[in-house]
Amino acid sequence: MQDPDHIILRALLQAGDNFVSGSQLAERLGISRVGIWARLDKLKAEGFEFEAVRNKGYRLLQEPPQLHGKFLEAAVAEVYGSINLRFLDAIDSTNSEAERLLALGESTPLVIVSGQQTKGRGRMGRQWHSPPQGNLYASFAWRPGLPYPRMQNITVWLGVCVCQYLREQWQIPAGLKWPNDILIHGKKVAGMLTEARIDADQTRELVFGIGVNIAGKTKDWPQEVAAVASSLEAHLPGRADMHTLAAGIIGTVLNAYSVFRHGDISTELVKQWQECDLLYEKIITAEVNGKPITGQAVGLHPSGGLRLQLPTGNQVILHSGEVHIGTA
């Protein structure tokens, strides 16, 4: 039996600007109309606003400013279908939680979302600033059972799909900085962190984490973060629709993984990357084995590596690391 709040919230979400009949909801849930009213009252205390009109029913006027677990679950169910989604008010890191749950034998696909992170992790051992309100912190766990070479381009593939989603559905001019940053007008709005448990013959477990600044207020961020980061909301005409955007991103990642798992995405990846590639034809410097190497970025290799044209005329492919625009 599904959670009654989930059923109520999903019905309100599906209705959009229309009303949902209180008696029909009551009948569906096998509770009284007063029971429905009491549940809506509890949801009001959690940040929702509803309009109630006699003989018409209820409609949703406003959703909470911070992610609400059951509403997010309902929104994901709308765009993707039912999924094992765990929403936590706070956790050290959603990637760490996903790893712990995988170790306990939790079924996959699994999505962990947290309202905030106390030890959010970024690439290269960095910290990921993870305050409450306005941001999405999500991790996805799978047991791919595929050989490691087949998994090499998974992060860039998921990144390109999220980037295209933002461009196509929201007209947000998002771009990608290899390997896994999403930027808008030079400022970072999302970062991705992929971690895997690999055995001799296959990738047993895969955790893909994404942090997205949806509507976080730059004035509340530490100075060093505010200088280089932005939010999706800053590039939208009005207030960001937190739950729709978060659910859209989650659904996009889940769909992108299915496509990846069942076929060869390399050609499509290289083509789509071109449309989002912020480094294309730029002179960049990368750290390789602790040494800087400078060249011109000339697109993505099907393996997910960055193709770099060296001044010597040779081309190299970078498979990991950190790059910056400019010379050393």
For the chain, the 3-state helix, strand and coil shares in percent, each to the nearest 5, are 35, 30, 35
3-state secondary structure 228-263: CECCCHHHCCCCCCHHHHHHHHHHHHHHHHHHHHHC
Bond into 64 cis (ω within 30): no
For residues 91 and 297, which CB has a smaller minimum distance to ligand BTN in the complex? 91
Q: State which of residues 28, 33, 123, 204 lies at the interface with ligand BTN (CB under 6 A).
A: 123
Q: Give me the 135-154 binding string for ligand BTN, x by CB under 6 A, dash otherwise.
A: --xxx---------------
Is 216 a binder of ligand BTN (CB under 6 A)? no
Burial of 118 (C-beta count, 10 Å sphere; 0-12/13-18/19+): exposed
The phi, psi pair for 184, rounded to 5°, reads -130, 125
209 lies in the site for ligand BTN, by CB under 6 A: yes
Residue type, 144: P
Per rule CB under 6 A, is residue 251 in the interface with ligand BTN?
no
In 3D, which of 85, 60, 20 has the Cα closest to residue 246? Answer: 85
- Residue 75 has a CB neighbour count (10 Å cut-off) of 26
Q: Does 131 bind ligand BTN (CB under 6 A)?
A: no
Residue among 28 and 217 whose Cβ is closer to ligand BTN? 217
According to DSSP, the β-strands at 110-114 and 84-88 are parallel
- Candidates 126, 185, 239, 319: give the one binding ligand BTN (CB under 6 A): 126
According to CB under 6 A, which one of 48, 50, 71, 128 is a site residue for ligand BTN?
128
Exactly one of 122, 131, 132, 302 binds ligand BTN (CB under 6 A); that residue is: 122
What are the residues whose beta carbons fall under 8 Å from the beta carbon of 173, sequence distance 6 or more? 167, 184, 185, 235
Q: Dmax over Cα atoms in the chain, in whole Å?
A: 77
For the window 168-207, what string marks contact with ligand BTN as x by the rule CB under 6 A? -------------x---------xxx--------------
Instruction: Tell me, residue by residue from 100 to 119, as one string, x for binding to ligand BTN by CB under 6 A and - for no binding.
Output: -----------------x--
Residue 112 CB, shortest distance to ligand BTN, in Å, is: 8
Interface stretch with ligand BTN, choices 15-23, 39-47, 134-142, 309-317 (CB under 6 A): 134-142
Residues that bind ligand BTN (CB under 6 A): 93-95, 117, 120-123, 126, 128, 137-139, 181, 191-193, 209-211
